[in-house]
Amino acid sequence: MPTSDTEGKDWSLQWFRYHLPNTVTDIGPGEGTYAKLFRPVHHGVWWTAVEIFKPYIRKYGLKNTAKRTGMYDEIHNLDAREAPDHLYHRDLVVFGDVLEHVERDDAAALLERAVAAGAWNILVSVPIVPSEQGEVDGNPHEAHLHQWDADDMDAVVAGLGGKAETFRGSTLGCWWWNRT
């Protein structure tokens, strides 16, 4: 779904406040959960979105237009696996409730690609309990293609090098990876 469980959001906000990034790319923003949560905390941040499902851009008011201010300064309607590397060269790349929508190897490759492209921080949030889901609202990309557990994501994030902090809730797990 284009929404997210509230679990782990306060934890994520705490890390956002600690790092105060100036550039953010939100992969698969859906309704813009993380922009809504983080934008009021730190102004002047350049927000980029990579959204695969074009109808969400209009439905959720993601894009800035002459008539209204959206949540994102820049939006790209494409598959994150095909996004140019410069979109991952940010102070923060958010993979918020999106990596379960691709196969495990693709998810790991996306994280590795963000690190290789120069991401300074990466936020990951995924369901860590069985979470079967198919197409939602005509969006085939909402199907869950991999069921993560916390230990599996721990291993993927550990393989990135750097340092990671972890939150394990009853439904969602969150990881804040940092290059340092």
Q: Quote the CA–CA distance of 76 and 14 in Å, as a whole number.
A: 27
Q: What is the pTM (predicted TM-score) of this model?
A: 0.92
Q: Which residue has the tokens 């290059």?
A: 179
Nearest CA among 176, 23, 27 for reference residue 101: 27
What band does 2 get if pLDDT is binned at 50, 70 and 90?
very low
As a whole number, mean pLDDT of residues 92-110 equals 96
Residue 4 has pLDDT above 70, yes or no: no
Q: Quote the CA–CA distance of 93 and 6 in Å, as a whole number.
A: 19
- The per-residue pLDDT for 132 is 72
Q: Which residues pair with 74 in a beta bridge?
A: 48
> How many residues are given for the chain?
180
Residue 3 has pLDDT above 60, yes or no: no
Residues 91/74/173/171 CA torsion (nearest 10 deg): 160
Residue 6 has pLDDT above 90, yes or no: no
Terminal-to-terminal C-alpha distance of the chain: 33
Residue 139 has pLDDT above 80, yes or no: no
- Classify each residue of 90-126 as buried b or exposed e, where b means 16 or more C-beta atoms within 10 Å of its C-beta: bbbbbbbbbbbbbebebbbebbebbbebebbbbbbbb
Mean pLDDT of the chain: 90
Q: At the topology level of CATH, where does 1-95+112-126+166-180 sit?
A: Rossmann fold (3.40.50)
Helix, strand, coil percentages (3-state) for the chain, rounded to 5, are 35, 25, 45
Q: Quote the CA–CA distance of 18 and 22 in Å, as a whole number.
A: 12
- The per-residue pLDDT for 108 is 98
> What are the CA-CA distances from residue 45 to residues 86, 92, 109 (Å)?
17, 11, 26
Query: Which of 5-9, 61-65, 125-129 comes out lowest in average pLDDT?
Result: 61-65
Locate the domains of the chain by residue range.
1-95+112-126+166-180
